[in-house]
């Protein structure tokens, strides 16, 4: 409809307005009484339907809480008011007052990380976009005045787009699907951040254990180098033997420096994931990692469980549903673009009034809407392909994570039950031989170095298990980061030390 053009009622002389154009009648005529209230009723219905969509106070956070609670068991709050922000800060301070466990670290990250809070605010944006899309555009009001000789006529018209009103059910379904997809994306981000925090906690605790054992290696190497220096000064040690001890001391110093740097890097990464700064960065960690579980986790129907509960698979399926709904919407409105309902009224200089309504729509001469429908069809097929690929990737990732976790459990168990006990037994036997003067002090020191290296290997194996366990947990609910970094491994020249 061309709103700038005068209504047909304004183009006729005042004397000829008795009959008026079709659909427009003078006040008091039966045609106006029958037709105008129906148009006004349609406008009122449109206003009611268009204004019923309101922004929810929680902006969809309840659904995200429900999605993540079974997997985390932690509180998820949005600090959108000063009272909630203060409550979250007090909760964080209480957790930081004691050594952080893995679960405590996840809780601090959920409450305190500002990037995660920004993701939660994205729900408010998605909810507002949904409400905005479901509301009808404001009606347009046009005023006009014409003059013909001494005769003046004033006209007003009210226009409302009917296309969006007719497509409101399909649009509501599409926008609901879009909001659910945004909620799934935020839930995945929350779960991924929690998994990264748990892995960073494991690496930080293991790095502190590594530093302690690296110091023990350093102490043993320093004692051996000092003893070798004194024995060489007394003429009881040759240059090769002293060089070996000095070389071991130099390597131990380098390994300690690397371990300390790894410890600092692991702690800083955990600090970033927790969102801490200032005095909060002085948090304490437990002295060691949790013990290895007595048995590996029993997970029957691994792939079926992953497909049923992975949020990325559910999100891909929702995206396919959304694409299907938008395809139906585009097909339904292909030839109904620009449909408008208008009410018009005019008054001449003689006081004669006229009222009426009109219906305007676009003629699909140049744009029949086939390109828009073709795009929607391609987007639907694209969403189906992506959903199938996400499901296939999920099956592969959960198999890989399960294999890595089971292998890590076997390796850690082997260290705990085979390598470390054997080294301890060797150390006890060598101590007996040293007390019986069957071996010298350097052989005893060499064995102590080998035992410390075995304990360090056990720490790394236990660390790798808990990292793989975190990856498996994440693989069951979302895409894991299977290529996570580890702290550097200490290189102990046990072969050179064993030569004494």
Does residue 369 sit in helix, strand or coil?
A: coil
Of 53-57, 414-418, 439-443, the one with minimum mean pLDDT is 439-443
User: What integer pLDDT is reported at residue 274 of this predicted model?
Assistant: 95
What average pLDDT does range 160-167 have in this prediction?
A: 70
Contact 24, 354 (CB under 8 A): yes
- Cα–Cα distance, 316 to 394 (Å, whole number): 12
Write down how long the chain is. Answer: 500
What average pLDDT does range 445-473 have in this prediction?
A: 85
User: What integer pLDDT is reported at residue 213 of this predicted model?
Assistant: 84
Cα atoms found within 13 Å of the Cα of residue 344, Cβ hemisphere only: 30
Classify domain 167-334+369-497 at the CATH class level.
mainly alpha
Beta bridge partners of 161: 340
- Cα–Cα distance, 273 to 277 (Å, whole number): 11
Of 6-20, 187-201, 219-233, 393-407, the one with minimum mean pLDDT is 6-20
Paired tokens of 230 = 């004194």
User: What integer pLDDT is reported at residue 17 of this predicted model?
Assistant: 38
What average pLDDT does range 7-33 have in this prediction?
A: 37
Kindly tell me if the per-residue pLDDT of 398 is higher than 90: yes
Q: Pick 458 or 156 by higher pLDDT.
A: 458
Kindly tell me if the per-residue pLDDT of 30 is higher than 60: no
Does residue 151 sit in helix, strand or coil?
A: strand
Q: Which residues contact 491 (CB under 8 A, 6 or more apart)?
A: 251, 255
What average pLDDT does range 2-27 have in this prediction?
A: 38
Kindly tell me if the per-residue pLDDT of 327 is higher than 80: yes
User: What integer pLDDT is reported at residue 139 of this predicted model?
Assistant: 79
Paired tokens of 206 = 């293991």
User: What integer pLDDT is reported at residue 462 of this predicted model?
Assistant: 94
Q: Domain coordinates of the chain in residue numbers?
A: 37-50+140-161+337-368, 167-334+369-497
Q: Of 359, 363, 352, give the one whose Cα is nearest residue 9.
A: 352
Kindly tell me if the per-residue pLDDT of 33 is higher than 60: no
The percentage of residues in the chain with a pLDDT greater than 90, rounded to a whole number, is 28
Please write the tens of the pLDDT for every residue from 282-319.
999 999 999 999 988 888 888 998 898 888 898 888 88
**Cα→Cα distances 86→73, 74, 108, Å:** 22, 18, 14
What average pLDDT does range 467-487 have in this prediction?
A: 78
Beta bridge partners of 143: 156
- Cα–Cα distance, 23 to 357 (Å, whole number): 7
Q: Of 449, 462, 107, give the one whose Cα is nearest residue 245.
A: 449
Select from 2.70.70.10, 3.40.50.300, 3.30.1300.30, 3.30.70.20 the CATH code of 37-50+140-161+337-368: 3.30.1300.30
What average pLDDT does range 204-209 have in this prediction?
A: 94
User: What integer pLDDT is reported at residue 300 of this predicted model?
Assistant: 82
Q: What is the pTM of this model?
A: 0.73
Q: How far is CA 93 from the centre of its chain?
A: 25
Instruction: Specify the residue for token string 């039966």.
Output: 30
User: What integer pLDDT is reported at residue 42 of this predicted model?
Assistant: 52
Average pLDDT, the chain: 78
What average pLDDT does range 395-409 have in this prediction?
A: 93
Q: Pick 133 or 457 by higher pLDDT.
A: 457
What average pLDDT does range 211-231 have in this prediction?
A: 81
Burial (Cβ within 10 Å: 0-12, 13-18, ≥19) of residue 315: buried
Q: Of 238, 284, 255, give the one whose Cα is nearest residue 108.
A: 284
Please write the tens of the pLDDT for every residue from 234-254.
777 677 777 877 777 888 889
User: What integer pLDDT is reported at residue 112 of this predicted model?
Assistant: 92
Q: Pick 448 or 373 by higher pLDDT.
A: 373
User: What integer pLDDT is reported at residue 293 of this predicted model?
Assistant: 92
Kindly tell me if the per-residue pLDDT of 99 is higher than 50: yes
The percentage of residues in the chain with a pLDDT greater than 70, rounded to a whole number, is 78
Kindly tell me if the per-residue pLDDT of 1 is higher than 80: no
Q: Of 16, 43, 20, 40, give the one whose Cα is nearest residue 31.
A: 20
């Amino acid at each position: 409809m061309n709103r700038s053009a005068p209504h047909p009622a304004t183009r006729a002389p005042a004397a000829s307005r008795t009959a008026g154009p079709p659909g427009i009648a003078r006040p008091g005529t039966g045609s106006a009484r029958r037709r105008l209230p129906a148009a006004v009723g349609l406008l009122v219905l449109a206003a009611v339907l268009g204004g019923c969509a309101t922004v929810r106070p929680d902006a969809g956070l309840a659904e995200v809480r429900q999605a993540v609670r079974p997997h985390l068991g932690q509180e998820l709050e949005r600090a959108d008011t000063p009272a909630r922000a203060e409550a979250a800060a007090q909760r964080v301070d209480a957790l930081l007052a004691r050594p952080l466990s893995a679960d405590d670290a996840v809780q601090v990250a959920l409450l305190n990380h500002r990037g995660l809070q920004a993701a939660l605010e994205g729900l408010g944006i998605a909810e507002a976009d949904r409400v905005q899309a479901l509301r009808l555009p404001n009606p347009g009001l046009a005023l006009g005045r014409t003059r013909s000789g001494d005769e003046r006529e004033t006209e007003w018209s009210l226009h409302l787009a009917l296309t969006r009103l007719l497509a409101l059910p399909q649009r509501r379904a599409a926008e609901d699907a879009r909001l659910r997809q945004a909620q799934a994306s935020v839930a995945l981000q929350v779960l991924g951040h929690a998994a990264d925090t748990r892995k960073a906690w494991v690496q930080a605790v293991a790095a502190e254990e590594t530093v302690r054992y690296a110091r023990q290696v350093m102490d043993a190497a320093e004692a051996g180098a000092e003893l070798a220096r004194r024995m060489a000064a007394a003429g009881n040690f040759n240059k090769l033997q002293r060089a070996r001890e000095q070389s071991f001391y130099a390597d131990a110093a380098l390994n300690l420096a690397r371990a300390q740097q790894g410890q600092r890097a692991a702690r800083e990464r955990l600090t970033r994931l927790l969102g801490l700064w200032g005095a909060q960065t002085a948090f304490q960690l437990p002295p060691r990692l949790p013990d290895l579980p007595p048995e590996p986790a029993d997970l029957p129907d691994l792939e079926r469980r992953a497909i049923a509960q992975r949020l990325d698979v559910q999100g891909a399926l929702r995206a396919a549903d959304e694409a299907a709904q938008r395809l139906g919407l585009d097909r339904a409105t292909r030839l109904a673009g620009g449909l408008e309902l208008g009410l018009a009224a005019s008054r001449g200089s003689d006081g004669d009034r006229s009222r009426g309504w009109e219906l305007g729509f676009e003629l699909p001469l140049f744009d029949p809407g086939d390109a828009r429908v073709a795009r929607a069809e391609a987007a639907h097929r694209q969403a189906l392909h992506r959903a199938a690929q996400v499901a296939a990737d999920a099956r592969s990732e959960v198999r890989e994570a399960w294999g890595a976790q089971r292998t890590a459990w076997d390796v850690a168990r082997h260290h705990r039950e085979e390598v470390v006990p054997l080294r301890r037994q060797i150390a006890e036997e060598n101590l007996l031989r040293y007390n019986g003067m069957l071996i010298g002090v350097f052989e005893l020191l060499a064995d102590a170095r080998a035992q410390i290296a075995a304990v360090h290997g056990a720490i790394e194996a236990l660390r790798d298990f808990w990292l793989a366990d975190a990856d498996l947990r994440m693989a069951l609910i979302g895409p894991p980061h299977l290529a996570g970094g580890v702290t550097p491994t200490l290189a102990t020249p046990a072969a050179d030390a064993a030569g004494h």
